[in-house]
Amino acid sequence: EAAVTQSPRSKVAVTGGKVTLSCHQTNNHDYMYWYRQDTGHGLRLIHYSYVADSTEKGDIPDGYKASRPSQENFSLILELASLSQTAVYFCASSAGTGGSAETLYFGSGTRLTVL
């Protein structure tokens, strides 16, 4: 069974503060992703990575940075948190391209509230 673990499960941050969301996978997958979920928007891709020490911008990267220090770990960093970044954040991993390799395995999500 694929395992993607996110921490923390929830967090309250102050506007302008720095927030780091962590994700760890034990699937030996090359690809990792950060999505945010907002009502009416489904899941939107923030950043992704297909190899350690490299990250790519997704569809809504502004205000976010990502870090992939190893194959297993992928972090999302909000340097200056803003109210508009209140959302649920999902990390996911996949093996890559080719048939079932596109299947995303999601973590449990992190509920971030920025006050």
Partner 1 sequence: GQQVKQSSPSLTVQEGGILILNCDYENDMFDYFAWYKKYPDNSPTLLISVRSNVDKREDGRFTVFLNKSGKHFSLHITASQPEDTAVYLCAAGLNQGGSAKLIFGEGTKLTVSS
Q: Decide whether 65 or 109 has the Cβ nearer to partner 1.
A: 109
| Residue 44 CA to its chain's centroid (Å) | 10
Which positions from 2 to 41 touch partner 1 by CB under 8 A, shown as an x/- string? -----------------------------x-x-x----xx
Helices (H) and strands (E) in the chain, counts: 0, 11
* Rounded Cα distance, 69 and 60, in Å: 22
- Decide: is 108 part of the binding site for partner 1 (CB under 8 A): yes
- Decide: is 1 part of the binding site for partner 1 (CB under 8 A): no
Residues between 44 and 83 that touch partner 1 (CB under 8 A): 44-45, 48, 50, 56, 58-59
CB count, 10 Å around CB of 75? 19
Which parts of this chain interact with partner 1 (CB under 8 A)?
Answer: 31, 33, 35, 40-45, 48, 50, 56, 58-59, 90, 94, 96-97, 99-104, 106-109
